[in-house]
Amino acid sequence: MSHLSMRPRTLAVGVTLTAAALSIAPASLAGARVTFTPVQATAATAPCNIAALPVPHGWQGGVVDVNDSGVLVGSALDPDGHLHPTYWTPDGAGFVRHSPKLAAEGELLDVNNAGVAVGFDEDAHQGFVLNTVTGTFGYLPDMAGGQSDRPRRINSAGVIAGAASDPNGTWVATTWAPPYNRAHQVGVPYEQQLMTWTDPDTGEVYTWIAGSEADGINDAGTLAVFTADPDPHAMRAHGHSKFSRYPGDEQPLDSSGVPAVPMTKTASGRLNTLHTTGDQAYTFALNDTGIVVGDDVSNPDTYDTRPVYWIGSSERDLGLPADAQGGRALNIDGTWATGFLYYGDGTTRAYVWTGAGLLQTMPDLAGFTGGTMAHGVDQALREVAGLAFAADGSHVPVMWRCPAGFSTDE
C-alpha cells in the first residue's frame, strides 16, 4: 500500500509506537466530551472528474500534493519494489511524468507554489529538497548529533516542517529554512522526557523518551504539531501501566497509555493546545487562516478515527457517514480539505470538503474497484489528488477536477 496509508508514528526512542498504543486523552487539556452522531447515512458523491496519471507499464504510484500551477508530487513504484520520487506537470489535456535520477529512493511529500518540493529518502532515512523548476537537489541536515530526519511540509517561503532525531534518537518537531544549512528544533511541551509503559496484557515494560512531530506549516510559519504528553495530571488513572515523568522520579502513576496531544505553535512562539473529543488526536496540516485538519481517536479500543478540523482550540466534525468505520483529514488548501474514509470491508474512499456542509466522496476510477485515497488538494484549481486501488491492491496515481462553483454546502 502507498505511504498515504496510516503509518506508525515514531514518537520516541526505544520503541516504535503505533497510534493504537497512544490511547489516553489528556483530560486536563480536552474540551467537553461529545458523543459524535453521524449526520449523514452515506456520503454524497462529488460531481468531479477523475483521471489517471501516467506511469510506466507495470508500475504503480500515488500523489501526495498539488500546487496552484497544477504540479503534482508523489512517487512511482517499479516492479522490483523500488520507490521513485516523481512529479507530474500539466500538458494540455494531459500530464507529463518526471522521475529525476536522484540519489534517493523514496517519495515527494509536498510542493509549494514556486515548485520547490520536499521529500524523503527511504534508504538514507533523510529528507531532501528538489526544485522542480531548476532541478536543484540537496539533502536536509540532521539535528546536531542526530542520525536521521523526516520532513513533511513546505510553505511559500521554503520553510520546511517535519521531525528529526536528536542525539539520543528521539524524534522531535523540526523546521528547516533556506539555505537549509541547519535543523531547528521547534520546542514543544512534554518532548524529551523519560517515559515507561507496561503492557497490561503481557507485563512487558517499554521505556522511551517522549517525542513530537510537526506535520503542518502555513505561510505565516505557524506549525501544526502533535506530541506525547507524559504529565501525570493529564492522564486518566486507571489500568495497570506504570509511568515516570522524569529520570529518577520514584512516584509512578497507574495509567493505560500515553496520549498524543495536538497543538499549534506560531512563528513568534505562542502555543495553542487543541481540544479533543476523543481519546487523542493528530494534526496533519493547516491553512493560512489557522484552520487545522487531522483526526480524532474516537474509539481507543479499535483506534478508529474521525476526520476533524479545529478553529482556534475548538474541534469540529467533518461529518463522518454512518456507513464508514472511520476516516482521516490529511490536507487543507484555502477552505478545501481532503483525506479518506475507511470501511468495514477494508476499502477506502477519498473525499473532499469545501469548508461548509458535509464531506463528499470522490468518484472511482473505471476498472479500479478497490477504492481510493486522497492527500493532495488545491482550491484554486478545484483539484484533489491521490490514488486508486485495483481489486488486487495495486494502485495508480489519480487526480480529480471539480466543476466551477462546486461546493459541499449543497
* Confidence at residue 252, expressed as pLDDT on a 0 to 100 scale: 33
* Confidence at residue 9, expressed as pLDDT on a 0 to 100 scale: 30
Q: Say if residue 14's pLDDT is above 50.
A: no
Alpha carbon dihedral 33, 38, 39, 42, in 10-degree steps, equals 160
Distance, in Å, from the CA atom of 79 to the CA atom of 58, rounded to the nearest integer, reads: 6
Alpha carbon dihedral 391, 392, 396, 399, in 10-degree steps, equals 20
Q: Say if residue 112's pLDDT is above 60.
A: yes
Q: How far apart are the first and last CA of the chain?
A: 34
How many other β-carbons are positioned within 10 Å of the β-carbon of residue 27?
A: 15
> Residue 35 — very low, low, confident or very high, per pLDDT cuts 50/70/90?
very low
Distance, in Å, from the CA atom of 150 to the CA atom of 374, rounded to the nearest integer, reads: 21
Check if the beta carbon of residue 117 is closer than 8 Å to that of residue 75: no
Comparing 247 with 281, the larger pLDDT belongs to 281
* Confidence at residue 15, expressed as pLDDT on a 0 to 100 scale: 24
State the chain's mean pLDDT as an integer: 83
Question: Exposure of 158 by Cβ count < 10 A (0-12 exposed, 13-18 middle, 19+ buried)?
Answer: middle
How many other β-carbons are positioned within 10 Å of the β-carbon of residue 310?
A: 25
Ordered DSSP codes for 311-326? ETTEEEE----TT-SE
* Confidence at residue 197, expressed as pLDDT on a 0 to 100 scale: 63
From 160-164, 232-236, 397-401, the region with the lowest mean pLDDT: 232-236
Nearest to 86 by CA among 112, 58, 109: 109
pLDDT in tens, 57-66: 999 999 999 9
Alpha carbon 325 to chain centroid, angstroms: 19
Distance, in Å, from the CA atom of 262 to the CA atom of 308, rounded to the nearest integer, reads: 12
- Write the single-letter amino acid at 10: T
Alpha carbon dihedral 17, 279, 270, 192, in 10-degree steps, equals -30
Cell numbers representing residue 348 in the block: 477506502
* Confidence at residue 167, expressed as pLDDT on a 0 to 100 scale: 86
Q: Say if residue 121's pLDDT is above 50.
A: yes
Check if the beta carbon of residue 273 is closer than 8 Å to that of residue 224: no
Q: Is the full-model pTM beyond 0.75?
A: yes
Q: Say if residue 236's pLDDT is above 50.
A: no
From 13-22, 141-150, 214-223, the region with the lowest mean pLDDT: 13-22
Nearest to 376 by CA among 407, 330, 342: 330
Nearest to 57 by CA among 394, 399, 401: 394
